Amino acid sequence: MTIAVLGATGMVGSRVITEAGARGHRVLALSRKPASEDPNVTLIAADANDPSAVREALAGVASNRAADAVVLTVRTHPVDQEFLIGATRTVLDIAAQLGIRVLVVGGAGALRSPDDHDLLVADNPTYVPAEWKTTAAAGIAQLRACQAHADADWVYLSPPALLEPGERTGRYRRGTDTLLTSADGRSWISAEDLAVAVVDELETPGRERLITVAHRDEPPSA
């Protein structure tokens, strides 16, 4: 499979590239300033908001490798909702025309709270402090942009409340529209295991459009 990754130099994107490459997939790394020493990774300089550049990259014009799937994992600091929604719509439009599956790595804010399914995580201060509400709101708007696109084949992956660099265990829990927490109330996953979940979903797509994952502890030995 040829997998294009937009946001290739970010925390999640770079790990998706590593995970996909380790499984033998061909990777197109799209970023404003792409960088990788992996010979199986094709570096493509492209702005996610530049439709012509994205189309050429996904169609394989420069690389001779048309993408089978595209992972959109772009973020800005501070958050720029207009850029995020524009990039998402650009990718969905082009992917629909080319017949490419899209996996959007979004935010946890669009999920339901585990203790109150009528309360979105974005509105729950237990998981989203006030300083992160703007970021959470942008993630919800991104999901709405996906839901409004009837022609594209997409899945929106919401990480848990905490996503940080860590260990690749290859283990995780998978859910749908509700935030996953552990027995002690934590909701987290390493970026490495999130990348495992991303590539798993591309290799074996589920039926749900909104999914989430979280860390899974190793089962006790017998």
* Domain ranges, ordered by start, for the chain: 2-215
pTM for the complete prediction? 0.94
- 170 φψ region: left (φ > 0), alpha (ψ -120 to 50), beta (else): left
Which pLDDT value is given to residue 222?
46
Q: How many CB atoms lie within 10 A of CB 68?
A: 17
Which pLDDT value is given to residue 220?
46
Which pLDDT value is given to residue 116?
95
Give the separation between CA 168 and CA 118, rounded to whole angstroms: 33
pLDDT < 50: residue spans in the chain = 220-222
Give the separation between CA 176 and CA 197, rounded to whole angstroms: 13
User: pLDDT by residue (tens digit) across 133-178?
Assistant: 999 999 999 999 999 998 999 999 999 999 999 999 999 999 999 9
Give the separation between CA 131 and CA 220, rounded to whole angstroms: 38
Q: Which two tokens stand for residue 111?
A: 């999920």
Give the separation between CA 63 and CA 2, rounded to whole angstroms: 11
Report phi then psi at 193, rounded to 5.
-75, -30
Strands, E assignment, 17-111: 26-31, 41-45, 69-72, 101-105
Q: Nearest-CA neighbor of 96 among 153, 48, 56, 58?
A: 153
Considering the four listed CATH numbers 3.40.50.720, 3.40.50.300, 1.10.3720.10, 3.20.20.70, the one that applies to the domain covering 2-215 is 3.40.50.720
Which pLDDT value is given to residue 219?
61
Which pLDDT value is given to residue 47?
86
Strands 172-175 and 210-215 come out as antiparallel
DSSP state, residue 200: H
Which pLDDT value is given to residue 203?
98
| CA of residue 2 relative to chain centroid, distance | 16
Which pLDDT value is given to residue 177?
97
Three-state DSSP class for residue 126 = coil
Determine what percent of the chain falls in helix, strand and coil, rounding each to the nearest 5: 35, 25, 40
